[in-house]
Amino acid sequence: MTYQEKKSIVSIISAVLIFGFYCLYMYPQYPEGALESPEAFRFWGSFVLILTVVSIVAHIVISIIFNIIYRMTTREKEPKFADELDKLIDLKAFRNSFFVFIIGFLLAMGSLIIYQPLHVMFMILIISGFVSDVTGSATRLYHYRRGV
Amino acid sequence: MGKNLVGNHIRKLRFNHDEMTQQQLADKVGVTRQTIVALEKGNYSPSLELAFRIAHAFHLPLEEVFFYGDDPTQ
């Protein structure tokens, strides 16, 4: 298995773990009995912002650890640059990821139209962000394995 | 993923050029080894520019490295 394939798999696993553990950590902090209060909005705002920061930091740390382990186990250095194949696969991954997020965004807006509570809209938005991230990594893995 | 119609003789040419490694060819043409692997497997059709760079690396015209459709040497 090549560096890029391994990296895509690590990226999927880390995204699932980060999102899973973060949700488990944040779930007990949800303000009880105040579904549409300013406190609930503050919760959702901080949920998204902290998740963004935590995801970026965790991905960087995991990427560094992955590169160290890759060098130690394969005695091969990771590619230092992205060539035309990498850029093409990145474009396809970004397209699929964006498509999934837009679907989620439209579903979130649709939930408001059918009078769903606001927390449903926030949950759909956050889940679509997570699924779009995983979709991007899965697309990379698919194209590195099966070709473009 | 549909099979690419652009084939190549890169693996054979590497062998005929002092058993050049994938990494050596990748360094010569400015791509990663992964891309050479994908090209040899037929999983990727290179850009025209990369195709020319690979042909130049072997000091051969383009059509002796790449072919469209069936392999003319078979």
The identity of residue A19, as a single letter, is F
Write down the pLDDT at residue A35: 67
Contact call for residues A127 and A101 (beta carbons, < 8 A): no
pLDDT digits (tens, 9 = 90+) for A86-144: 999 999 999 999 999 999 999 999 999 998 888 899 999 999 999 999 999 999 999 99
Residue of A nearest to B36 (CA): A85
Q: Which residue has the higher pLDDT, A32 or B25?
A: B25
Say if A74 is an interface residue toward chain B (CB within 8 Å).
no
Collect all residues of chain B within an 8 Å Cβ-Cβ radius of residue A146: 1, 43
Distance CA A111, CA A121 (A): 6
Write down the pLDDT at residue B3: 62
Q: Is the pLDDT of residue A49 over 70?
A: yes
pLDDT digits (tens, 9 = 90+) for B19-73: 999 999 999 999 999 899 999 998 899 999 999 999 999 999 999 999 988 777 7
What is the ipTM for the molecules in this complex?
0.84
Window 11-70 of B, Cβ < 8 Å to A: 30-35, 37-38, 41-47, 50
Q: Count other Cβ atoms within 10 Å, centred on residue A26.
A: 14
